[in-house]
Structure formats: structure tokens, C-alpha cells
Amino acid sequence: MLEVKRDQLKKLSDEEIINKVRAGNNECFSEIVRRYNQRMYRITVGYGIYDDDCEEVIQLAYISAFEKIDQFRGEAKFSTWLIRILINECLMLKRKQKKLIGFSEKELVTISSGNHLNPESEYMDKERKIILETAIKQLPEKYRAVFILKEIEGMQIKEAAEILAISKVNVKVRLHRARAMLKNIISDVSDPSNLLTFGNERCDRVTNAVMEFIRKNEK
């Protein structure tokens, strides 16, 4: 029954799922979590959060969104509203830490190749992706965030501008500068959407943690 339910939820829009949650079907919120875990992770990294802290920040953002679900008015896309909450959580964490968070070796994300390559080619492919991920994390935050939203997540300029609360012109300028900073290595990775992957195990862990909190606090 659970699998059938999940299959049905996958066909619904964000707004349709939110309406079900508002009507008291809290379990439907799990589909929102699974739907956006990858994007939330990438944006958290884009704001310079250490990889060890990413899951906690993402969970806090989901819980905050659930608790404020009645405040969502549909004036923007639900994903935009959710990501704004995530960005606020990222900024609050950074203020608490009271220090700039830069790249460290422990932030490297292991990328699994989807291609059937020979061992040497597969190794080189992974190495190129790690090099590019490292370079992305070294970008100044305002350029890194734009690059991740536009090039990795594939967002439109308008949506990226809404999320970051800057003009579309600013998005284009920052994207151009980010590309310029990465121009020496970006050609080595043919598909940027394969970068900064979250992984099924971590996705399940975040989803389970968020839903466990929701179930414990049901009225």
C-alpha cells in the first residue's frame, strides 16, 4: 500500500501535496522531502556549510517549512519558498559559527559514474568531478550560489533571482563571473548535473528524521 501511495504522490504537484498536508495528511510531506533533498543539499553546499552539517540544516529547513505551511500563500513557487527557508537556516548557522567557512578536504563528495567505463577512464572521470567540485566550493559565496542554482540545478534566471532576492541582471553577471573563474576546468565535466550528489542513503536518512519529528509532534 505504501508503494502505491508513493507512486500516486509522485504524480501530484507540490501545491496538491501541500493541500493534502494542510488537510491533515502529514505523511504526504515525505514526498516533498524526497523530491527536494538533492536540490537542498546542493544549495546548502553553495552557502558554504560543511558537509557534516548539511543534513542537520536541511532537516531544520523542512521542519520549519512544515510548521509554517499555512503561511505559504502561493505567491511564488513552493520550491522557491522552501529554498528561502533553507537559505535562512544556512545564514543562521553561519552567524552562530561566527567565522567564514571555506573549503576543507572533508567536504569532498564521492561521485559515482553512471557510465560503463573501463577502470582507468572511470577513475579519471571521478577525479575530474572531484576537481570541479573543489573549485566550485572555493568560489566566493555569491558566485557559488548562483552557479549551483543555474548550472547544476538548471533553474531559470527568474527563479534564481527570486530565491536570492537579486535582479535577473545580477544573476547573469554573477553567473558569467563564476564561469570565468572555472573556465580552466569546467570543460572536463560534460554534465554538471552529476555534481554534488546527495545519495539514496542520505536522502532516506533525512526523510526519516523529518517524518519522525512530524509524527512525534502530531496533535
Per-residue model confidence as pLDDT tens digits over 30-41: 999 999 998 899
- CATH architecture type of domain 117-196: Orthogonal Bundle (1.10)
Q: Phi, psi at residue 73, to the nearest 5°?
A: -105, -5
Residue with cell 508513493: 6
**Do 210 and 63 contact (CB within 8 A), yes or no?**
yes
Domain with CATH 1.10.10.10 in the chain: 117-196
Q: Kindly tell me if the per-residue pLDDT of 102 is higher than 70.
A: no
Of 203, 192, 198, give the one whose Cα is nearest residue 109. 198
Q: What is the pTM of this model?
A: 0.69
Confidence of residue 219 (pLDDT cuts 50, 70, 90): low
In a 10 Å sphere around its CB, with 0-12 CB exposed, 13-18 middle and 19+ buried, how is residue 10 labelled?
A: exposed
Q: How many CB atoms lie within 10 A of CB 121?
A: 12
For residues 81 and 44, what is the distance between their CA atoms, to the nearest angstrom? 15
Q: Which of 63-77, 152-166, 184-198 has the lowest mean pLDDT?
A: 184-198
Tell me the mean pLDDT in the region 113-136. 58
Q: Which fold has domain 1-103+197-219?
A: Rna Polymerase Sigma Factor; Chain: A (1.10.1740)
Tell me the mean pLDDT in the region 142-155. 88
Q: What is the pLDDT of residue 10?
A: 83
Domain with CATH 1.10.1740.10 in the chain: 1-103+197-219
Query: Which of 28-42, 91-105, 114-128 has the highest average model confidence (pLDDT)?
Result: 28-42
Q: What is the pLDDT of residue 110?
A: 32
For residues 157 and 146, what is the distance between their CA atoms, to the nearest angstrom? 9
**Do 161 and 171 contact (CB within 8 A), yes or no?**
yes
Confidence of residue 185 (pLDDT cuts 50, 70, 90): low
Of 2, 4, 30, give the one whose Cα is nearest residue 17. 30
Q: Which residues contact 52 (CB under 8 A, 6 or more apart)?
A: 106
Q: What is the pLDDT of residue 123?
A: 45
